[in-house]
């Protein structure tokens, strides 16, 4: 029996952002591994899979693939943009020469842009957009530039990590600088200011920070 691994993204807010194509692909798999942390999303996904398991890591996925048949991997966001598990499975497949397929999905950037059409402030002259996984940005805080639009995202992160980000933003942006936030499991947009971040519950999955206008004090 031919072995193949099919890697799919569920979007930032499953099931709202999960495509029918993704569900069809996963439904054809003998077993599907998922690391999505939202229990409601995991339970919902189980209704579309022959067998759904919690992913213990890339090694477990490869072990299942060795037994033949199609093995699925379902991750939060976009598999090649916001999932460490998906990237690790890809690398192992290449090394072991195991056939695999990666399906597209809505990424954290696509999701927040779709909900915040005014994010760029009406000025489309910016030469780029910063997009960081929370852990990645905190590992290199000097990379943050207030002159460019910023998106920071994480499916789930400890409150201490978000508070550390809040401290970084306060050191680089004016207290009255408006930002937009989206909570995990609830895609409604909330408008805050940098100075009020200390009063907010760190339950976000994405933050959008517009750029500081040229010449504006920080």
Q: What is the pTM of this model?
A: 0.68
108-209 homologous superfamily = Tetrapyrrole methylase, C-terminal domain (3.30.950.10)
Query: Does an H or E element contain 9, and which?
Result: strand 3-9
pLDDT greater than 70 at residue 208: yes
Tens of pLDDT, residues 5-20: 999 999 988 998 899 9
Looking at domain 3-102, its CATH architecture is 3-Layer(aba) Sandwich (3.40)
Contacts of 183 (CB under 8 A, 6+ apart): 190, 203, 204, 205
Question: What per-residue confidence (pLDDT) applies to 8?
Answer: 97
Tens of pLDDT, residues 73-116: 999 999 988 899 999 999 999 999 999 999 989 888 777 776 66
Question: What per-residue confidence (pLDDT) applies to 132?
Answer: 92
Which two three-digit tokens encode residue 39? 């229990």
Burial class (CB within 10 angstroms; exposed 0-12, middle 13-18, buried 19+) of 163: middle
Of all residues in the chain, what percent carry a pLDDT higher than 90?
59
- The structural domains of the chain, with segments of one domain joined by +, span 3-102, 108-209
pLDDT greater than 70 at residue 54: yes
DSSP secondary structure code for residue 196 in this structure: G
């Amino acid at each position: 029996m031919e072995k193949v691994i099919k890697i799919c993204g569920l979007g930032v807010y499953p099931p709202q952002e999960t495509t029918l194509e993704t569900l069809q692909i996963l439904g054809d798999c003998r077993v599907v591994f998922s690391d999505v942390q939202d229990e409601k999303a995991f339970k919902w996904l189980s209704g579309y899979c022959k067998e759904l398991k919690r992913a213990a890591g890339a090694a477990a996925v490869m072990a299942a693939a060795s037994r033949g048949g199609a093995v699925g991997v379902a991750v939060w966001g976009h598999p090649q943009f916001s999932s460490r598990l998906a990237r690790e499975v890809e690398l192992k497949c290449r090394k072991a020469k195991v056939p695999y397929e990666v399906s597209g999905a809505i990424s954290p950037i696509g999701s927040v842009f779709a909900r915040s059409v005014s994010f760029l402030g009406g000025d489309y002259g910016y030469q780029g957009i910063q997009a960081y996984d929370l852990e990645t940005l905190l590992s290199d805080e000097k990379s943050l530039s207030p002159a460019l639009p910023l998106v920071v995202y994480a499916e789930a992160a400890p409150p201490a990590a978000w508070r550390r980000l809040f401290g970084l933003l306060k050191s680089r942006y004016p207290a009255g600088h408006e930002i937009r936030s989206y909570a995990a499991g609830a895609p409604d947009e909330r408008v805050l200011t940098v100075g009020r971040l200390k009063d907010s519950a760190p339950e976000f999955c994405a933050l959008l920070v517009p750029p500081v206008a040229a010449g504006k004090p920080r």
